[in-house]
Amino acid sequence: MFLKFLVVILFLANLVALGSALFALLNDEGREEGKRTAKFLLIRVSLAAALLVVILYGFYTGELGVGVPWYDASRQ
C-alpha cells in the first residue's frame, strides 16, 4: 500500500515540476532567462526516473503485480 501511495505522490510531483516549467516557459518567452524552463524540466525528468525505479522495485517484490485471478502470472 505504501508503494502505491509513493507512486501516486511521485506522479503528482511530476505534474508540479511540469507546471513550474510551463510557468517559466510562458513568462520567459524563450529568452536568455529561459534556462529556468530547462532546469524545471530536468527536475521533472529526474522525478520520472525515480517513479520508474519505484515501479520496477514494486514489480520485482511483487507488491505492484497484476492481481486479477484470470491473469496467468507465469506469462510475465
Partner 1 sequence: MSTQDAYEEYYVPHNSKLPIFASLGIFLTLYGMGNMFNEMTAGVDSSFGEIVFLLGGLVMGTTLFFWFAQVIKENHEKLYSDQMNRSFVWGMSWFIFSEVMFFAAFFGALFYIRVFVVDWIGGVGDRGPSDMLWPEYEPHWPMLNTPDPELFPGAKEVISPWGLPLVNTILLVTSSFTITVAHHGLNEGNRKKLITWLGATIALGIVFLFVQGYEYYHAYSDLGLTLASGIFGTTFFMLTGFHGAHVTLGTFMLIIMFFRALKGHFSKEDCFGFEASAWYWHFVDVVWLGLFVFVYVLGS
Amino acid (one-letter) located at 22: L
In whole angstroms, what is the distance from residue 13 CA to residue 43 CA?
10
Indicate the SS3 state at residue 70: coil
In whole angstroms, what is the distance from residue 8 CA to residue 24 CA?
25
Considering only residues 10-69, where is the footprint of partner 1 by CB under 8 A?
11, 14-15, 18, 21-22, 25-26, 29-32, 34-35, 37-38, 41-42, 44-45, 48-49, 51-52, 55-56, 58-59, 64, 66-68
**Shortest Å, Cβ 74 to partner 1:** 11
Q: Which of 1, 2, 70, 74 lies at the binding interface for partner 1 (CB under 8 A)?
A: 70
